[in-house]
Amino acid sequence: MKEVATLDRLKTGVVGLDEIIEGGLIRGDIHLLAGGPGSGKTVLAANVAYNAAIAGENVVYATFEESADYFRRNAKLLGLELASLEKEGKLAIIDLEALKGQQLETNVSTLIQATKDSKGSLLVIDSVTALLLACETQFEMRTFMKSVYSSLKSEHITTILTGSLTNGAKIGLEGFMTDSVMLLENWEDGVQMKTRFVVLKMRGTNHSRKYHSVVFGPKFAISRF
């Protein structure tokens, strides 16, 4: 049993993360990485994308709130050199802003097609909140999330969705639909702001239920308190 679980997982390569989720993210599952502003969603997702591409996976990273160039620049500042991976065809960065005005379903189909074209094994959508904001009603949001979930699942694409939480907000319906929810939280420790990480759920995984400390730069890491 243990061996099958290991084979089916995509290693994140993030220091401290794989060991608390039984070796990595279950392939073909939809993983939500939620958190408030500046809690490290993009930094964590970029690290996973980079590590996976370096390890030989083909990765598609769709960015909405930041342009592709801005994302490349910030990644470089974190020590993640994406340009060479793009040249080698291991990583494709898609600027979702460029698809603005299209139907939501078209955006998602474009991403799925791009992932299939590049024989991609990992798709990151940063952020799904930006897409959901285009929905006018709760019903539309639910229908859209359902269709995103089922199309990604049927293509067996391992996906990381980032989800933005405003201060104090609870995770919305996207958290109930996805296979896993990882939460990044900023919190006050006296006069200092710190960030912690917890796995709220991960279907099929005996994951840690503890809060872990997040270390930003020079190497992003998750560690014990």
Ligand X SMILES: Nc1ncnc2c1ncn2[C@@H]1O[C@H](COP(=O)(O)OP(=O)(O)OP(=O)(O)O)[C@@H](O)[C@H]1O
We find the least distance from the C-beta atom of residue 126 to Mg ion, in angstroms, to be 6
Q: Is 189 in the site for ligand X (CB under 6 A)?
A: no
We find the least distance from the C-beta atom of residue 165 to ligand X, in angstroms, to be 8
d(CA 148, CA 132): 11
Nearer to ligand X, 26 or 161 (CB): 161
Q: Is 164 in the site for ligand X (CB under 6 A)?
A: yes
C-alpha 152, offset from chain centre = 14
**Could you say which DSSP state residue 96 is in?**
G
Please list, residue by residue across 132-160, b when 16 or more beta carbons sit within 10 angstroms of its beta carbon and e when fewer do: beeeeeeeebbebbeebbeebeeeebbbb
We find the least distance from the C-beta atom of residue 155 to ligand X, in angstroms, to be 26
Question: Of 35-54, which residues contact ligand X (CB under 6 A)?
Answer: 35, 37-43
We find the least distance from the C-beta atom of residue 162 to Mg ion, in angstroms, to be 6
Q: Are 18 and 24 in contact (CB under 8 A)?
A: yes
- Choosing from 5, 15, 54, 78, the residue that interacts with ligand X (CB under 6 A) is 78
**x-or-dash string of contact with Mg ion, 22-61, rule CB under 5 A:** -------------------xx-------------------
d(CA 101, CA 115): 21
d(CA 114, CA 63): 14
Q: Are 59 and 189 in contact (CB under 8 A)?
A: no
Q: Which residue has the tokens 């995103």?
A: 148
We find the least distance from the C-beta atom of residue 33 to Mg ion, in angstroms, to be 10
Partner whose binding site includes residue 216, from Mg ion, ligand X, none (CB under 5 to 8 Å by kind): ligand X
**x-or-dash string of contact with ligand X, 56-75, rule CB under 6 A:** ---------x----------
Q: Is 89 in the site for ligand X (CB under 6 A)?
A: no
Q: Which of 177, 91, 152, 161 is nearest to 126 (CA)?
A: 161
Please give the residue ranges that form the binding site for ligand X (CB under 6 A): 35, 37-43, 65, 77-78, 164, 216-217
